Amino acid sequence: MIKYELASSSWDTKELDAIQNVLSQNRTTMGEFVEKYEHEFANFTGSKHCVMVNSGSSANLLATAALFYKKESPLKQGDEVIVPAVSWPTTYFPLYQYGLKLKFVDIDLYTLNYDIEQLEKSINDKTRMIVIVNLLGNPNKFDDIFKMIKDKNILVFEDNCESLGASFQEKQCGTWGIMGTYSSFFSHHISTMEGGMIVTDDEELYQILLCMRAHGWTRNLPKNNLITSPKSDNYFEESWRFILPGYNLRPIEMMGAIGSEQLKKLPDFLFHRRKNAQYFREKFENSSFFYMQKEIGISSWFGFSLILKSTINIERIELVNFLLKNGIEARPIVAGNFTKNEVLKYFNYEVFGNMKNAENIDKNGFFVGNHHYDISEKINYFHDVCTLFFEGK
């Protein structure tokens, strides 16, 4: 029996009623509910524009694609993009799929985000973009990063899929770069079944995203737009005019309707996640057995990561099996050190320096869940089980 799960549903009757409302109108494809949610999400993040798609993974794909079709200084195949060694695969796959060269840089053992010194050393004249991943809710040191690239023609793109609601210096994560992506998958801060969002203040990129989200046609563009010649008034022809090599990444109306309800609850969800984190830190911050993630700015605490200290002579799998035996779910820290994966044989990539910290968390790290409600009893139980395990060693 699971007593401390990785994730839990944040829905109640409000979300179910929202679904029924959409179904009663007999229109499930992308429409007014999605558009309403996009405006609400943009307002929440303080962005000019939001484009919803069918997943956070698709958000990364579409955002990457859009950068290739900017009129000025677009990305090109072979351009060098810096990425952290620890993230989810869909941070990297769109970059590979668009022919970019990935340069992997080690992370900081305590924050789990970029090792700032290594990042600075990795930047050179070939660097065209830095992908910033705010891991497990934790912001990066944006001030340091932007100082490094001052006066350089380097794009900053944020994969903020795990960090909705996090902020640094009173600015929302996901809004520091030219675009930022979010996920609303079941286990994330809000859930729309599946779902992803892209925010940007760049009008041209916004229009490219709208176009490429649905087949690359002009149908969703304003008459006078920044991508092509003005649209004609012939709706019949214009609705099937294709100008960019797009996709079908549209969300459905139910996802937009659910998103509106979830967004109303998000401040309360974040309050409980941060309160849970404060209690978790009280229990584990000075542990003899673990390192806990060090907060930068204001984290939205996706989950709680722990790394076994080098003084602990045990295999992680022993602890993980003991936790599962006692009803506690645990998983690796995101995808661990991604550079170890066989899929890299298809990539154009470089591993910059060594991956000592990424290797460490790959071997010794794991995380347990955080939730949108008070889980102090679960944290107490987890602490007791860990204590019991180490007392037996």
Kindly compute the dihedral angle of the four CA atoms of residues 179, 196, 138, 106, in this order, to the nearest 10 degrees.
-70
**Cβ neighbour number for residue 59 with a 10 Å cutoff:** 32
The two beta strands, 167-168 and 171-172, are antiparallel
DSSP 8-state symbol, 29:
B
Rounded Cα distance between 345 and 347, Å, is 6
Q: What is the pLDDT of residue 101?
A: 98
- Residues 6 or more apart whose Cβ sits within 8 Å of residue 207: 221, 222, 225, 226, 227
CB distance 299 to 167 below 8 Å: no
Annotated catalytic residue, options 188, 189, 215, 371: 188
- Name the token pair of 183: 């996920």
Q: Any idea which fold 13-260 has?
A: Aspartate Aminotransferase; domain 2 (3.40.640)
Amino acid letter for position 50: C
- Name the token pair of 282: 């009280």
What are the backbone dihedrals phi and psi of residue 350, each rounded to the nearest 5 degrees, phi first?
A: -140, 140
Rounded Cα distance between 219 and 108, Å, is 45
What are the C-alpha distances in Å from 106 to residues 42, 351, 363, 376? Answer: 32, 9, 15, 33
Q: What is the DSSP string of 73-121?
A: S---TT-EEEEESBS-HHHHHHHHHTTPEEEEE-B-TTTSSB-HHHHHH
Q: Where exactly are the structural domains of the chain?
A: 13-260, 266-391
383 is catalytic: no
Q: What is the pLDDT of residue 393?
A: 73
Nearest to residue 189, comparing CAs of 208, 207, 165, 171? Answer: 165
The two beta strands, 80-84 and 127-133, are parallel
Q: What is the DSSP string of 277-339?
A: HHHHHHHHTT-SSEEEPPP-SB----EEEEEE-TT--S-HHHHHHHHHHTTB--B-STTSBGG
Rounded Cα distance between 219 and 242, Å, is 9
Please tell me whether residue 169 adopts helix, strand or coil conformation. coil
| Residue listed under structure tokens 């179910």 | 16
CATH classification code of 266-391? 3.90.1150.10
Nearest to residue 61, comparing CAs of 110, 101, 94? Answer: 94
Q: What is the pLDDT of residue 150?
A: 95
- Name the token pair of 101: 């060269």
Q: What is the DSSP string of 208-258?
A: HHHHHHBTTBSTTS-SS-SSSSPPPS-HHHHTT-B-S---B-PPBHHHHHH
**Radius of gyration for the chain, computed over Cα atoms and rounded to the nearest angstrom:** 22
Q: What is the pLDDT of residue 366?
A: 98
Nearest to residue 107, comparing CAs of 81, 141, 63? Answer: 141
Q: What is the pLDDT along the chain (393 residues), one digit of tens a residue?
A: 999 999 999 999 999 999 999 999 998 999 999 999 999 999 999 999 999 999 999 999 999 999 999 999 999 999 999 999 999 999 999 999 999 999 999 999 999 999 999 999 999 999 999 999 999 999 999 999 999 999 999 999 999 999 999 999 999 999 999 999 999 999 999 999 999 999 999 999 999 999 999 999 999 999 999 999 999 999 898 889 999 999 999 999 999 999 999 999 999 999 999 999 999 999 999 999 999 999 999 999 999 999 999 998 899 999 999 999 999 999 999 999 999 999 999 999 999 999 999 999 999 999 999 999 999 999 999 999 999 999 977
